[in-house]
Amino acid sequence: MNIQNPERPEPAPVVAIVGATGAVGIELIRCLEARDFPISELRLLASARSAGRRLPFKGREVIVQELTELSFDGVDYAFFSAGASISLKFAPFAVAEGAQVIDNSSAFRMDEDVPLVVPEANAETLADAPIVANPNCIAAILTCALAPLHQRWSITRLSMSTYQAASGGGAEMMEELREGTRAHLANEDFEPQILPHPYAFNVFSHNSDLDPDTGHNGEELKVIAETRRILGQPKLPISVTCIRVPILRAHGIALNIRFEDHVCQDRIRDALSDAPGVRLVDDRALNHFPMPSDASGQEDILVGRIRNDLGDPSGRTTSLFIVGDQLLKGAALNAVQIAETLYERVAVK
Amino acid sequence: MNIQNPERPEPAPVVAIVGATGAVGIELIRCLEARDFPISELRLLASARSAGRRLPFKGREVIVQELTELSFDGVDYAFFSAGASISLKFAPFAVAEGAQVIDNSSAFRMDEDVPLVVPEANAETLADAPIVANPNCIAAILTCALAPLHQRWSITRLSMSTYQAASGGGAEMMEELREGTRAHLANEDFEPQILPHPYAFNVFSHNSDLDPDTGHNGEELKVIAETRRILGQPKLPISVTCIRVPILRAHGIALNIRFEDHVCQDRIRDALSDAPGVRLVDDRALNHFPMPSDASGQEDILVGRIRNDLGDPSGRTTSLFIVGDQLLKGAALNAVQIAETLYERVAVK
């Protein structure tokens, strides 16, 4: 989206990024530049350890400052991407200064006063709230594809397994995957520092804590709760298994969708080919379907393997495979899209 | 299993392996040695290109011979693992010589006169047939875990996504994964030779051909047909998405099982902890579940993440994650177990 308000009288917004040196922070800077979000000042904030680093933005270098309670003076939009505890501690200071907070952590996602937004799915829930929550990466990628289907045919059940990349664990986990793989190929010992398991040529159940009663991990519970909230279906039955695979920055989702009634696979394909933020990659003759190697660095999520599910004799279930860049639609891009939507509304007022 | 028939009068069997130099062939030789299958002569057969290679067996070296129509003279057990076309062409010559054929290809799996056997699941179907079929790797690993559950509680639906290793495509695909990954880490160009897609740090829909009407690939259709046959449920609804992930030799399966009635997760866990060929890896406190890094080189399949599925409000669905060595339970080990079962029956007669 290009925001063009040449007549707009007030100066362009001041934008802050908390966690600017992290994997998502870097992508936030790139997205703001690539999408030409209007900015009069970009304030990059991080821990004392990262203060003083210089990061490129629009041909200049911006010096990273240490995050403090006084960092938000004059800020219009503050992106938070430094974990839930930092958001809980510092977002109130940004709000007190009148900033609009867009929070990429899980801190406020289930707060009823905080909209949880994927613009393609539920932009209408973006109220005048001081904080807007950016969803979990799987929930964002998933609902971007599901919303146009749910609006047409009403989804009654979801069942999915994920193929999640290292970037969900930040730049350190991506580096651990690279270094562990290099060591594995060289037959060298490698002691993982970030993960409890070896990552090279391995897959494992998502590394979030497990609920001892239900046996579901934190990632799965987030996906269920946030997907229900974004789709506005608080009791939608959702089955999900979250698995980490050795890829760098794009998440895959193998998905079964049950609709209220039978929907033919061709109508699903047509609906998705028109959907914003979605690119159809569904070539049966060439065996070409969504892959992380095609999705990485792309704003659109890729959807394919669309077929009526042989496992549901009622004919109401469709299978899909979705891949989206975890750092873009799963994090930074969605956050910038939220800011764009908010900015446009101010412009319209 | 150790076969101990010290009183057995006749000489030990003559065993042939067709495709001895392939990834599965090498594991067949290792399994026969590790499990001490009684052998008076091991005849290793392969294409002319591989003839003359020497492979180790029980401290000796066995010279690989070229496969011809005359290769089966005196053979008691002939393992075939060189693809369906070789099995279709040469298995009849082995049968004509009185050999018992155990075929690892897809050539005879849906032939009603040919038993399709996973000993833990349906050893009772091993009739006096000249050819026995060894199932598709996913079907073998899956039914080994499912049989003890189906026998107790009757399965009415299966839904799964796979995490399949390179070894399913043979030694060449494993090498392509290693070499492609090495090149990726070194920022070098790499042109895949075996696969249509880059494999390093990538996942993709299984590389078997797609049925243009249903949109299912050959691997998925095999898993559905063979699982139904092994479980003796010709119409069992099965939903499956087969995905290749960048791991070397163990397949993962994220699985939902729907039973006729509600079954509590603790009873499932108890049933699997007693099941032959299955090892429970299900530690919620340590976040330790089945992984390829633990399953590779292991005879047992690993089962964990056992939990009642939040996506089925009826409470009849359980989720699991299974990992098994593709070259062992998914191929060579299961074939040797079939031979052991057949040999024991002869011994009992």
State residue A349's pLDDT score: 54
State residue B290's pLDDT score: 98
Q: Is residue A8 part of a domain?
A: no
Per residue of chain A (349 residues), give pLDDT as tens.
344 455 565 789 999 999 999 999 999 999 999 999 999 999 999 999 999 999 999 999 999 999 999 999 999 999 999 999 999 999 999 999 999 999 999 999 999 999 999 999 999 999 889 999 999 999 999 999 999 999 999 999 999 999 999 999 999 999 999 999 999 999 999 999 999 999 999 999 999 999 998 999 999 999 999 999 999 999 999 999 999 999 999 999 999 999 999 999 999 999 999 999 999 999 999 999 999 999 999 999 999 999 999 989 898 999 999 999 999 999 999 999 999 999 998 766 5
Alpha carbon of B210 to those of B163, B199, B217, B226: distances in Å? 18, 19, 4, 18
Parent domain of B66: 14-135+331-348
CB–CB contact A241 B247 (8 Å) = no
* B156 Cβ under 8 Å from any chain A Cβ: no
Mutation test of the interface with chain B: which of A159, A213, A251, A303, choosing the one with the most B Cβ atoms within 10 A? Answer: A159
CA proximity to B30, closest of B68, B57, B65 = B57
From the annotation, which residues of A make up the binding site?
A: 21-24, 49-50, 109, 164, 167-168, 244, 326
- Does the pLDDT value for residue B346 go beyond 90? no
Q: Is residue B6 part of a domain?
A: no
Domain co-membership, A199 together with A258: yes
CATH number, domain of B39, equals 3.40.50.720
Domain co-membership, B269 together with B174: yes
> Closest Cα of chain A to B211: distance in Å?
8
Q: Is residue B9 part of a domain?
A: no
Domain co-membership, B217 together with B107: no
State residue B10's pLDDT score: 76
State residue A128's pLDDT score: 82
Domain co-membership, B178 together with B310: yes
What pLDDT digit, counting tens, does each position of B273-294 carry? 999 999 999 999 999 999 999 9
The burial of A51, by beta-carbon neighbours within 10 Å (0-12 exposed, 13-18 middle, 19 or more buried), is given as middle
Gap between the Cα atoms of A239 and B238, Å rounded? 16
Domain co-membership, A343 together with A273: no
Whether residue B150 lies in the annotated active site? no
**Sorting pLDDT into bands at 50, 70 and 90, what band is B4?**
very low
Q: Is residue A68 part of a domain?
A: yes
> Closest Cα of chain A to B6: distance in Å?
43
Tokens representing residue A53 in the block: 């680093």
Gap between the Cα atoms of A235 and A258, Å rounded? 14
Helix H or strand E encompassing A96: helix A84-96
Q: Is residue A108 part of a domain?
A: yes
> Closest Cα of chain B to A165: distance in Å?
9
Torsion of CA B80, B254, B216, B24, to 10 degrees: -10
Q: Which 203-232 residues of chain B touch chain A by CB within 8 A?
A: 203-205, 207, 209-210, 212, 214-217, 224
Q: Is residue B224 part of a domain?
A: yes
For helices B218-231 and B137-153, give the axis angle rounded to 10 degrees: 40
Residues 6+ apart with CB under 8 A from A25: A17, A18, A19, A44, A46, A81, A82
Tokens representing residue A150 in the block: 């749910």
Q: Is B23 annotated as a binding residue?
A: yes
ipTM of the complex: 0.95
State residue B246's pLDDT score: 98
Domain co-membership, B291 together with B304: yes
Domain co-membership, A173 together with A302: yes
State residue A6's pLDDT score: 52
CATH number, domain of B321, equals 3.30.360.10
What is the chain A residue with the closest CA to B310? A239
> Closest Cα of chain A to B4: distance in Å?
38
Rounded mean pLDDT of B9-34?
95
CB–CB contact A238 B311 (8 Å) = yes
Cβ atoms within 10 Å, residue B188? 10
Alpha helices (runs of H) in chain B, residue ranges in sequence order: 23-34, 84-96, 119-122, 137-153, 170-185, 218-231, 265-273, 292-295, 333-348
A178, A196, A247 ranked by CB distance to B185: nearest: A178
Cα atoms in the 13 Å half-sphere on the side-chain side of B197: 24
CB–CB contact B246 A241 (8 Å) = no
What pLDDT digit, counting tens, does each position of B195-253 carry? 999 999 999 999 999 999 899 999 999 999 999 999 999 999 999 999 999 999 999 99
Domain co-membership, B214 together with B302: yes
> For residue A7, how far is the Cα from the chain centroid?
33
Domain co-membership, A181 together with A297: yes
> Closest Cα of chain B to A286: distance in Å?
9
Domain co-membership, A241 together with A318: yes
**Residue A132, beta-bridge partner list:** A102
Gap between the Cα atoms of B175 and B167, Å rounded? 9
Residue A69 backbone phi and psi in degrees, to 5: -65, -15
Q: Do the beta carbons of residue A132 and residue A338 sit within 8 Å?
A: yes
Among all chains, which residue has been given the structure tokens 């200049």?
A60
- Domain tally, chain B: 2
Residue A37 backbone phi and psi in degrees, to 5: -65, 130
Residue A228 backbone phi and psi in degrees, to 5: -60, -45
What pLDDT digit, counting tens, does each position of B314-341 carry? 989 999 999 999 999 999 999 999 999 9
The top-scoring range by mean pLDDT among B5-9, B124-128, B151-155 is B151-155
The burial of B59, by beta-carbon neighbours within 10 Å (0-12 exposed, 13-18 middle, 19 or more buried), is given as exposed
Q: Do the beta carbons of residue A118 and residue A46 sit within 8 Å?
A: no
CB–CB contact A305 B215 (8 Å) = yes
What pLDDT digit, counting tens, does each position of A132-149 carry? 999 999 999 999 999 999
Q: How many CB pairs under 8 A join A and B?
A: 176
* B321 Cβ under 8 Å from any chain A Cβ: yes
Rounded mean pLDDT of B59-82?
98
Q: Do the beta carbons of residue A135 and residue A226 sit within 8 Å?
A: yes
Q: Is residue B182 part of a domain?
A: yes
CB–CB contact A256 B198 (8 Å) = no
State residue B326's pLDDT score: 97
CA proximity to B19, closest of B101, B99, B98, B76 = B101
Q: Do the beta carbons of residue B264 and residue B309 sit within 8 Å?
A: no
* B292 Cβ under 8 Å from any chain A Cβ: yes
- Of B150, B206, B216, B251, catalytic: B251
Gap between the Cα atoms of A159 and B319, Å rounded? 11
State residue A168's pLDDT score: 95
Whether residue A251 lies in the annotated active site? yes
Tokens representing residue B272 in the block: 């699997």
**Residue A196 DSSP class:** S
State residue A10's pLDDT score: 76
Q: Is B75 annotated as a binding residue?
A: no
A307, A308, A311 ranked by CB distance to B157: nearest: A311
Give me the percent of chain A exceeding a pLDDT of 90. Answer: 93
Collect all residues of chain A within an 8 Å Cβ-Cβ radius of residue B202.
247, 291-293
State residue B100's pLDDT score: 98
What is the chain B residue with the closest CA to A221? B310
What is the chain B residue with the closest CA to A200? B247
What pLDDT digit, counting tens, does each position of B138-164 carry? 999 999 999 999 999 999 999 999 999
Gap between the Cα atoms of B27 and B248, Å rounded? 14
Q: Is residue B5 part of a domain?
A: no
B182, B252, B311 ranked by CB distance to A239: nearest: B311
State residue A345's pLDDT score: 86
Alpha carbon of A331 to those of A23, A81, A109, B127: distances in Å? 10, 9, 13, 57
* B238 Cβ under 8 Å from any chain A Cβ: yes
Domain co-membership, A30 together with A163: no
What pLDDT digit, counting tens, does each position of A317-346 carry? 999 999 999 999 999 999 999 999 999 987
Domain co-membership, B95 together with B151: no
Cβ atoms within 10 Å, residue B83? 16
Q: Which 166-205 residues of chain A touch chain B by CB within 8 A?
A: 177-178, 181-182, 185, 196-198, 201-205
State residue A2's pLDDT score: 40
